[in-house]
Chains A and B, each alone.
Chain A
Amino acid sequence: MEPEIARSWRDPELLIKALPSVLLQTTCFLAPLLMTFILTFQRTRDFQLRWTWDLATWIEIFSKPHYWTILIHTLVMASVCVVICILLALPAAYGLATRFKRIENEIKILITFAFITDATLKTFGWVLFLDKKGGANFMLSYLGFPPEMVAFLFTDWATLLGMVYNLLPFAIFTIYLSIDSIDRSLILAAQDAGAGKFRAHWEVTLPLCKPGIWAGSVLIFLLGVGVFLEPKVLGGGKSPMAAELIRQTFETRVNWPLGAALTLVLMVVAVFVVLLISRISGMRRAGL
Chain B
Amino acid sequence: MNHRLEAGLATVLLYGAMAGVLIFFYVPIFTLIAFSFQEGRYLTLPFDGFSLKWYGELFRSAPALDALWNSALIAVAATLFATVIGSMAAIVAVRYRFNGKRMFLALIGTPLAFPQLLLGIVLLLWFSVLGRWFGFNNGVVTAIIGHVVYIAPFVTVIVAVQVASFDPVLEDAARDCGASIWEVYRYITIPLLWPGIFSAALFAFLLSWGNFYITYSLAGSTRTLPTFIFSGISIGSTPLYPAIATIVFIPGILLVMLANRFRLRAQKL
Contacts and interface: CB of A to CB of B under 8 A. Distances in A.
Contact of B245 (A113, A124, A267): A124
B229 A250 contact: no
Nearest to A32: B126
B194 interface: no
Nearest to A201: B10
A243 interface: yes
B7 interface: yes
Nearest to A108: B260
A8 interface: yes
A155 B181 CA distance: 60
A17 B242 CA distance: 43
Interface stretch (A53-61, A62-70, A86-94): A86-94
A172 interface: yes
Contacts of A1: 94, 164
Interface in B239-255: 241-242, 244-245, 248-249, 252-253
B114 interface: yes
A80 interface: no
A110 B7 CA distance: 27
Interface string B1-36: 011001101110111111011101111110110110
Interface in A221-260: 222-223, 225-229, 232-233, 243, 246-247, 250, 256, 259-260
A84 B107 CA distance: 31
Interface range, A side: 35 or more
Contacts of A98: 14
Contacts of B253: 109, 113
A120 B212 contact: yes
B121 interface: yes
Interface of A: 1-2, 4-9, 13-14, 16-18, 20-22, 24-26, 28-33, 35-36, 39, 49, 88-89, 91-92, 94-96, 98-100, 105, 107-114, 116-129, 131, 133-135, 137-138, 165, 168, 172, 196-198, 201, 218-219, 222-223, 225-229, 232-233, 243, 246-247, 250, 256, 259-260, 263, 266-267, 270
A263 B118 contact: yes
Interface in B87-138: 88-89, 91-92, 94-99, 104, 107-108, 110-119, 121-126, 129
5 contacts: A7-B96, A25-B107, A29-B119, A91-B18, A134-B44
A13 B96 CA distance: 10
B117 A226 contact: yes
Interface stretch (B48-56, B58-66, B145-153): B145-153
Contacts of B85: 20-21, 24
B69 to A, nearest CB: 16
A262 to B, nearest CB: 10
A17 B105 CA distance: 13
Interface of B: 2-3, 6-7, 9-11, 13-18, 20-22, 24-29, 31-32, 34-35, 43-46, 84-86, 88-89, 91-92, 94-99, 104, 107-108, 110-119, 121-126, 129, 145-146, 148-149, 152, 156, 164, 167-168, 181, 203, 206-207, 209-210, 212-213, 225-227, 229-230, 233-234, 241-242, 244-245, 248-249, 252-253, 256-257, 259-260, 264
Nearest to B169: A2
B118 A7 contact: no
B14 A95 contact: yes
Contact of A120 (B21, B34, B226): B226
B122 A33 contact: yes
B144 to A, nearest CB: 11
Given A35-B126, A222-B113, A29 B152 contact: no
Given A95-B14, A113-B256, A228-B213, A5 B95 contact: yes
A16 B181 CA distance: 13
B122 to A, nearest CB: 5
Nearest to A162: B28
B125 A122 contact: no
B32 A124 contact: yes
Residue among B91, B98, B203 with most chain A CB within 10 A: B98
A277 to B, nearest CB: 15
B133 to A, nearest CB: 12
Contact of A113 (B104, B148, B226, B252): B252
Contacts of B110: 25, 29
A28 B127 CA distance: 9
Given A18-B104, A125-B245, A92 B17 contact: yes
Contacts of B27: 125-126, 129, 135
A42 B2 CA distance: 69
Contacts of B233: 120, 124, 127, 233
Contacts of A21: 85-86, 88-89, 92, 104, 107-108, 152, 156
Given A25-B107, A119-B212, A109 B260 contact: yes
Given A25-B107, A113-B252, A133-B45, A4 B260 contact: no
A71 to B, nearest CB: 14
